[in-house]
Structure 1
C-alpha cells in the first residue's frame, strides 16, 4: 500500500509537527504528545481534555480551540495515549475550575484516563469524566466492555466546549456531556478494510462485492456482512438500528460522517438518503454536519450519528467555535 509517510515508526510525531506548522494557535508538544490551546489555561474556565489513538483525524487534535477542547492527547495509531500524557494535558488546561475528561469507551482509554485523573487529583485538580458509548451496532467488541464510543464524541466535545466557554461550572459542563451521550446513537458501515502504517496492508479481508454493517472505527467486526447495497438500502439499515434504540423526543442533530476514504460526493448523496428516510419517519433534523470527522485512516464507508436535541443543545451546537476542523460563528 502506498502512503505519504517517512516510516511507520515516525508517523505520529511527523504528523504532529505538520499540525503545529499549519496551526500556530495551538501549542503542540511532539515529545509528550499533547496538543493544547495556546491561550490555555483560560482563567475561570472549566478545561476540556480528550484523546485516543491517532488514525481518527480530525478527532481529537483537530477539535482543540475556542468553543471546543482545551487539549488533546494523541496516542499511537489505534492505541490509547498513556496516563502521563493525559495528566500533562490536564495540568496544562487547569485554571482552578476543574477539568472534564471526555473518554470514548475503549478499555485502554478508560483505564488510562482513570489513572490520569487520580494523578492530577493528588495535585488538587478536580476531574469529572464523561464516557461516550453511542455505537448501537454491537456490545462487548474487541476493544470494549459495553458499547463503543464513536461519532457522538464530536457532539459531546462541541456542546460541552460551548458551555465551558460560557463559564459554566464543572458539574454543569459534565452533566450536559452525559446528556448528549445518552441522547446519541451511531451506526457505521465499511466498504473497504482499513490499512495501518505498521501493517502496510488491509487489516481484515473484505471482498470487493461485500460490505460490513456495524463496523467499529478500528476495523472491529460489525453485525453482519452482506453483498454490496445501494446508498438508500445502507441508510435504511443504519437508521433502523439507530431509531430502534434512540430515545424518543423532538428534533435531532445529524452527523453523516466519512470513515476517511469516502469522497464528499458520496457522503452528500448518502446524506440525502438519510434526510429522506428521517422525513418519512417524522424525525425533524435541526442541524446537519457532513464530512470526514471521526475516521478510520483510509477506510471507505460512513457512519450516521443522531442526537436528540432540545433548544439548549441546539443553541450550544450553534455557538461559536474555532478549531482546525470546525469553525463557525467567529
Structure 2
C-alpha cells in the first residue's frame, strides 16, 4: 500500500442539496352548518437549509470523503384548516477550522471557515408551496390547485483544509519535529525511528502566563516534495497559513544540505513562503561536538538566519527554547 493511502483527508468534492419545500394543500372546509365552506388548504413547509460550521473538534474532511452528496430533509406538506406544513430541521455539518470552500468550476473561494464556530449557509432549502386558500378570488372562489414546493439550492464545491497555526515546524523526516512539539506543547505526536512517522499535521499549544501560540508539526519534506515525491505537496498547503516557519535541522546529519532542500521545495511550491519570518533549530546537538556546533551556527548566521542549537532530549534546552519561540512567534504575529 502506498504512503499516500494513509494520508488524512484534507480535500473533498461535495454536492450539497437543500431540502425541497413541501407542497401546498388543496382542501375545502367541510363543517356542519357551513354548507358552502371555502378553500382552506395550508402552505407547505420550508426545506432544510444546509450549513457548514467550523469546529475545533474536527480534524479532517474524512466525513465528506465518505459522503460526497448531502441532501437536506424536505419540508412537510400543508394540510386542511390552513395548517402550515412543518419546516424541515436545518442540517449543520462540522468541518475543521481552516477549511476553504471553493467553487468546483472556477476554484474561487466562496468562504473561509477560519475560526471556531463560524457558520456558512452552503445550500438554501426550497420555499414551501402555497395552499389553495391563497388563491381564492371573487371570480374563483373554489380554486382546485396549490403550488408545489420549490427545490432546494444545489451547490457543488471543493472543500480544502489548510491548517491554521502561528508557526509550523518543517524539516526532513526524522529531524526531530515531533519530539520537539511534544516537549514544547500539549501535543502527542507519534515519534519513531523511521521516515514519515508523522502522517498528518499535528497541532500543539505553547503558552506561558500571558502568551499563547499554536504550533504545527508538518510531515517531513524531502527533495522533490513540491512535485509529489514522498508525501509530496499534500502538506505544503498547510504551511501557507502559518505566520512564521521553524526549520528543524538534524545537526548530526547534513543540516546545510537539508536547509537548502527545504528552501528549494518551498520556493518551487510557492515562493511567497520564503518571505515568512523563520528561525532555524539545529536539533540533536548532543550528538556532535561543540566545535562542529559553532561552525554551523556561524555558517547560518552569515546567511542572516536566526539560528539556535538545541537538543529535544535536554530539558534545559527545551525550557530556554520555549521563551525563544514565544518571543519569535509573537513578534511575527505582530508584523503580519
Give 1 or 2: higher helix fraction.
1
TM-score relative to the length of structure 2: 0.29
Q: What is the TM-score normalised by the length of structure 1?
A: 0.29
Relative contact order: is structure 1 or structure 2 higher (C-alpha 8 Å, sep ≥ 6)? 1
Kindly name which structure, 1 or 2, has the bigger radius of gyration based on alpha carbons. 2
